[in-house]
Structure formats: structure tokens, C-alpha cells
Structure 1
Amino acid sequence: MIETERLILRAFIEADREPWAEMNADPEVMRHFPATLSRAEADAVIERVNGKIAATGVGFWALERKADGLFLGFAGLNCIGHENLPIFGLWEVGWRLRREAWGQGYASEAGAAALAHGFGPMGLARILAYTAVTNTPSEAVMKRLGMMRAAEMDFDHPLVPEGNPIRRHIVYVKDAA
């Protein structure tokens, strides 16, 4: 568990399942992804994420707002496991928040905490972030986190069909100080 001024980053709990499923079924939240998620798919993500957290102590943690315990989404660190990606095996920082949490600095706050954990206790030398080229809000968070564009690492996502506007992905990196 990691705490920031306004957030708690922790493993998912049973009470998170419904708001997580609703968030991932929201076409606006998922507009930079190939598709929304069904309830079963959303539940499967929780199982995978919590499994990684249990095994390694890190992952995409659930975000809880300290003030009222509201579930906001997720953020954290992940070792990229898609073997088809050119960035396979590298560490990423990532986030996904419910619409009501947008524009309040939560992604930046959680991302900064995740980066601090990655560079601090984990001792990582480099952490990257990637997103669809259309996802300018996430790109803005990457910039606020002090990440630098690594255009030479950009790629076409193999799980997104050719011609789809979200196929091209951009990469940002941050190195340990």
C-alpha cells in the first residue's frame, strides 16, 4: 500500500468490483482502448492485477480517495507482459480513472507515487509509459511526471487492427535520477 496526500494505492477489494466494471464499460473512459470490457473481463483484470501484487508487491493498484473512500480507478507499475510488444519486459507506469475523477490531478499524484516507488524501493533504472497517439490527456500526465518522449520507441500495437486510429502508440520514459 502507498499513501499520498489524497490517495491510497492498494490491492483491489471486493467493493471495487462494481465501480471498476462500470468504469471499464464506459465508452468515454475506454475511448483510447480497442473496446470496453464486460463484467467478466473486468473481473479477470482484477484477478490478474491482484495476483501480480500478491506475488511481487507491485502492480496496478486500486486508487481510493482518502477523504471519503471513493474508488477512483487504478494506477501503478507493471512489467509489460505482452510478448508481441517491442517494449516487452520493460517496466511501465500507468493509470485509468473513472470519468468523475478526471481533471483533478489524481493520475499525476498516483503516477508520481508509483514512479517514486519504482525508482526508490524497487531500484529501477528506467520506467516508461505508453498510450495511443490519440490519448492527449494521458500524454499530458506523462509530461507532468517529467517523462520525456522516446519517439524511437513508438510502435503500432499488434492487438489493434490496421487503420484503427488508436493503433499507433507513443512512448515516454523517465530514468532514475
Structure 2
Amino acid sequence: MSVFLRTSRLVLRTVTEDDLDEVVALDNDPLVMRYLNGGRPVSREEVRSGSLRRLRGPGFWAAEASGPEGPPGGGSPGGWLGWFSLDPLDGAGTVELGYRLRRSAWGRGYATEGSLALIDKGFRELGARRVTATTMTVNAGSRRVMEKCGLRHVRTFFEEWPDVIEGSEQGDVEYALTREEWLAGRG
């Protein structure tokens, strides 16, 4: 297991082929996927050739609970919670923050904890100049995480999507944080 980052309650490590069952379960939870594909089910093969393949690339990490309490909902420490990303968008130092956690991990601060750690690592060690994140306008939970991490609303935009998702008529939002803003907020 190649560990990328540890926080007080999380281990972010390289995604492996062994994570397939966990990613299949995550991508087939209708509430987890509500703002991504409207909650429609996806086949194991779609996950293997799509989601898992992308997650095994640079900038993506599996998230496991590392604290003595173990993962939410029971189980032993080290339980799989989901994934995080800090995906390079351009050669100028812009990275996109992302996360997808199982429902039992929601509301426990894991998304904020993992995101703050990645933002910090991105600015301190990885040469990031700007961190962005996007979600549907109606995804209040994800927007709260972005705001808790210091990202600010930059714009609301509308894109054409192949499938209409409830709330998509309100568009998507982009949040961002520059290295300078991050440094100013640390003082």
C-alpha cells in the first residue's frame, strides 16, 4: 500500500484493483451519485473500465479511516470511506479538488479533513497555484465543504449534460482558492 497522506483520522493511499468492490458500491449508491448521474445504477464493468481506471491515475487516492473508532457504521480501523482527488487541470498549477465518500461517512467532517490536507499539500509541496472545485448549485453539502476549506464562489455556469438531473436547471458552481489567498489565511 502506497500511502500519500495521513491526517488524524484518514489515510489517503493509492487506489488499486482491490478497491473495485468498494468503488462499485459507492458508484451504485443513488444518494452518493444523485448530483453526478442522477443516481442511476452502473455495472461492475462500467466501474472497472471507467471510474476505477480513472481513480488509478495520478491525483486520486482511496480514503480509509485511521482512527481507533474505525469507519462510520462499524467495522475495523482502516475501513474504506471513498476517495479524494487533486487532479491537475493545466500546466500552470491549477488543480481540481474532488471527493466522493460513502453515505455513512457524511456529516462527520471527513470530506473537510481530507480536502484541507490535500489543499495544504498541494500548495506546500506540489506546486499548486490555484485549487478549484465544482458541483451542482443545489448540492449544499459539497458547497459547505468547499467553503469550510476556504474556497470562494467564483461563478455559476450552465453546461449541456446528456442526462437531465433534478436541480440541473440551476446550473453548476465553481469555487476556487489561490496560493496567495491560502497564505494570507494562514497568518
Same fold (TM over 0.5): yes
Q: 2:158 aligns with which of 152, 156, 162?
A: 156
* SS of structure 2 residue aligned to 1:46: helix
Report the counterpart of residue 165 of structure 1 in structure 2.
167
The CA RMSD over aligned residues, in Å, is 2.1
Instruction: Measure how far apart 1:80 and its partner are.
Output: 4.1
Instruction: Measure how far apart 1:13 and its partner are.
Output: 2.7
Q: 1:101 aligns with which of 98, 102, 105?
A: 105
CA distance in 1, matches of 2:44, 2:165: 28
Instruction: Measure how far apart 1:90 and its partner are.
Output: 4.2
CA distance in 2, matches of 1:103, 1:97: 10
TM-score by length of 2: 0.79
CA distance in 1, matches of 2:119, 2:19: 24
Q: 1:20 aligns with which of 9, 23, 26?
A: 23
* SS of structure 1 residue aligned to 2:36: coil
Structure 1 residue ranges (4+ consecutive) displaced by more than 3 angstroms after TM superposition: 160-164
What is the number of equivalent residue pairs in this alignment? 162
Q: Does 1:8 align with 2:7?
A: no
Distance 1:162 1:141, change over 3 A: same
Is the CA contact 2:94–2:129 (under 8 Å) kept in the aligned structure 1? no
CA distance in 2, matches of 1:9, 1:114: 9
Instruction: Measure how far apart 1:41 and its partner are.
Output: 2.2
| Structure 2: runs of 5+ lacking an equivalent | 68-76
Largest Rg, 1 or 2: 2
Distance 1:150 1:37, change over 3 A: same
CA distance in 1, matches of 2:15, 2:144: 26
Is the CA contact 1:76–1:110 (under 8 Å) kept in the aligned structure 2? no
Residue identity matched to 1:137: G
TM-score by length of 1: 0.83
Report the counterpart of residue 53 of structure 2 in structure 1.
47
Q: % of aligned pairs identical?
A: 33
Q: Does 1:141 align with 2:150?
A: no
